[in-house]
Amino acid sequence: MGEYKDITPGKKLLKRLYTAIMLWFVGRSIQAAAKVDDDVKKEFEELPDQFLFSLGVTPNGPRMLVGKDINGVVKYLGSNPKGRKINVDMTIKNLEAAILLFTFQESTAMSSCHDRLTVDGDIPSACSVVRILDIVEVYLLPKIVAKLAVKRYPQWPMERKLLGRTKIYLRAILGF
């Protein structure tokens, strides 16, 4: 028999890049929404001081960290978890599952049901994080897409959506 050449899978650079950009933007948007939206503020107020959560892709995929400091200020902390005590670590099992989640073909709840998303940490805190992510997704996405991404689309007044969306986009892009 002849020799066969080993085939190694590709690195999926575009999918990794897309996921990294989405995590970066969602992280910065959470920071912005904590200053703009009362529901997000309330969710973070109920979490303990120095709370830190992480959302990332295994193995060795992109990651985002968002934390609340001792003064109650919510900040996007980048992607490096080394040396940090993470209270809630949400992990997407692989890059393909992350693409399903971040192209909004599947909601966070459905990802959990299909065993694509794991949570390590306090369950009530993880539920708060999912509610925060849902609110941020409603602000960031058009209604037709957001309905696919969240479990229940909220009935907000138009001015809340438009003003909040504008403020969150500006703060996320400009970083304040």
Tokens representing 130 are 């999912």
- Residue with the two structure tokens 């904590």: 34
Q: How far is it, in rounded angstroms, from Cα 56 to Cα 79?
A: 9
Domain that includes residue 121, residue range: 13-174
The answer to whether residue 21 scores a pLDDT higher than 90 is yes
Q: Report CA-CA distances (Å) from 119 to 23, 101, 147, 162.
A: 17, 15, 23, 32
Answer yes or no: is 134 within a domain.
yes
Indicate the number of domains in the chain.
1
Note the pLDDT of residue 1.
60
Q: Is the residue at 5 inside a domain?
A: no
Q: Is residue 55 part of a domain?
A: yes
Query: Does residue 133 lie in a domain region?
Result: yes
This prediction's pTM: 0.88
Task: Say if 8 falls within a structural domain.
Answer: no
Chain mean pLDDT for the chain: 90
Q: Write the CB contacts of 145 (distance below 8 Å, at least 6 apart in sequence).
A: 104
115 part of a folded domain: yes
Average pLDDT over residues 130-155: 89
Instruction: Return the H-helix or E-strand segment holding 44.
Output: helix 38-46
Q: By C-alpha distance, which of 129, 130, 143, 141 is closest to 168? A: 141
Of 151, 91, 96, 81, nearest to 119 by C-alpha is 91
| CATH of residue 157 | 3.30.1050.10
Q: What is the pLDDT of residues 64-108, one digit of tens each?
A: 999 999 998 999 999 998 999 999 999 999 999 999 989 888 887
pLDDT of amino acid 107 = 81
